[in-house]
Amino acid sequence: MAHASLVRRFSSPVPDTMTIEPGSPADLVPLARFHYAAGRPGPIAHVLRAVDDGEIVGVLVASMPTLNGRWRSIAWPGEYDTHDKRANALRLNHDVRVISRVIVDPRYRGRGLAVRLVRTYLHNPCTARTEALAAMAHACPFFERAGMRRIDLPPSKADARLLRAMARHDLEPADLLHHPPESIAPSLRAWASARKLRGGDIPGRAFAALTHPPVVFVHDRGAS
């Protein structure tokens, strides 16, 4: 009976007593271990935290944008890809912030808290435009649910080269998980070098990249 009560408690919606409020980079520390990406996000511009009964149970981090993003020519064509790189950078830093982390305590997952964090930020964003890059978009549906627009990216140049090499050897991405043949090793090394990866399970990381390509979510202030 106690187990059933626990399941009901943590599958219920976010409680009305929970507050979402401005936070600080320090609020990321106790929850960072629950995020799939290692390390800290880029330069932090803003933090929101979700607090329930005095405990931080969720956090959203908005960071400064990277200067190079191939999705921007799709999302906002012609605005950040002119021939004037300095002007592009100034405009980008003025216009755009990136939701670089949305982390929810595992006890509170499945209750709509991630959607609520993103919606709260988008209601009063730091800049006119917001973007979020999701390497595991299949596991991050909350961006769309919160009102962001999804952009599916074509394969990167490195991914496309690896796919062509694999096709020449009649290989599928799944073959990378089961002792990939030595014939594909040079292409895997070139792929890892292009991505600046050193060590680790390179075939496994290549499989993940090829089967779950990154997706970008964007939002313009005032958009419905």
C-alpha closest to that of 138 among 146, 150, 148, 122: 150
Tens digits of per-residue pLDDT, 189-216?
Answer: 999 999 888 878 899 989 988 988 888 9
Torsion of CA 150, 28, 127, 112, to 10 degrees: 50
In single-letter form, the type of residue at position 44 comes to I
pLDDT at 1: 36
Mean pLDDT over 130-152 rounds to 85
pLDDT at 38 over 60: no
pLDDT bin (cut points 50, 70, 90) of residue 15 is low
pLDDT digits (tens, 9 = 90+) for 50-92: 999 899 999 999 999 999 888 999 999 999 989 999 999 999 9
Q: Which backbone phi and psi does 101 adopt, to 5 degrees?
A: -150, 135
- What six digits make up the tokens of 106? 């595992």
Question: What is the rounded average pLDDT of the residues 12-39?
Answer: 81
118-136 tens-digit pLDDT: 999 999 999 999 999 886 6
> Could you give all domains of the chain from N- to C-terminal order, each with its CATH number?
2-154 (3.40.630.30), 157-211 (no CATH)
- The pLDDT assigned to 18 comes to 87
Looking at every residue in the chain, the average pLDDT score rounds to 87
Share of the chain above pLDDT 90, in %: 64
Residue 6: pLDDT band (50, 70, 90) is: very low
